[in-house]
Amino acid sequence: MPKIEFAELAQAVIDGNTEEARRLARAWLESGSDPLLAIEQGFARGIHRVGELWEEGEYFLPELIQGAEAMKAALETLQPRLGAARADQASKGCVVIGTVQGDLHDIGKSLVGTMLTAYGFQVYDLGSDVPIAAFVEEARLRRADIVAASALLTTTMVAQRELVRAVTAAGFEWSPKILIGGAATTPEWAAEIGAFHAENALRAVAVAESCLG
């Protein structure tokens, strides 16, 4: 089997080629290579480039959606092997993650969840459009170390402040950390509401590891 280059993985996402992304992910697994490397060095670089092209005005909404779908297909293919590869490792911590209510975007959030899983965290993904009460209930049920909330829109990021307040008011016997992200958010906003911030999936892993010591 010919060696698969990281550039090929990235290009499948940049081209928005869902079937090619899925095929390459399968081939990568069949080769016995580390699925985490495929994400970090290949597919994640591709979706990052898609975002750059969007910001530069080279890509429009259809291209953005196609790239996101290709990324999602690759992640879905790699995810089972990621979990199996780390099944014998002690969990670094429990993370409850979701996109806040009123916001349906979940590609970035899903990537963060996948990367956290890959690096040894136990992740419970609530999906998108998640009410504050659902975050709090799941955090209590799972005894979460981190509650992570994404918001792409300025109109929905205010829910992140409400989440911090709700978790604080819940009176847990432990103190979950709040990690926020999404295009609308900034480190300044996170500091204002009393949360940690990560601008991308790899950074989210580093922040999660750091805030749990």
What is the tens place of the pLDDT at every residue in 138-169?
A: 999 999 999 999 999 899 999 999 999 999 99
Distance CA 133, CA 156 (A): 15
| Together in a domain, 71 and 174 | no
Evaluate whether residue 103 is within a structural domain: yes
Evaluate whether residue 154 is within a structural domain: yes
| Together in a domain, 112 and 79 | no
How many domains does the chain contain in total?
A: 2
Distance CA 123, CA 204 (A): 13
Q: Average per-residue pLDDT in the chain? A: 91
Give, in order, the Cα–Cα distances in Å from 117 to each of 5, 20, 36, 184, 211.
24, 24, 10, 24, 16
Q: Per the confidence metrics, is the pTM higher than 0.85?
A: no
Percent of the chain, pLDDT > 90?
61
Domain end position, chosen among 23, 53, 85: 85
| Together in a domain, 41 and 79 | yes
Domain end position, chosen among 54, 85, 116: 85
| Together in a domain, 55 and 102 | no
Question: pLDDT tens-digit profile of 73-116?
Answer: 998 899 888 766 665 567 899 999 999 999 988 878 888 887 78
Give, in order, the Cα–Cα distances in Å from 139 to each of 101, 168, 184, 206.
16, 12, 24, 21
| CATH number of the domain encompassing residue 177 | 3.40.50.280
Which tokens in the block code for residue 168? 């604080």
Domain that holds residue 38: 6-85
Evaluate whether residue 66 is within a structural domain: yes
Question: pLDDT tens-digit profile of 170-200?
Answer: 999 999 999 999 988 999 999 999 999 999 8
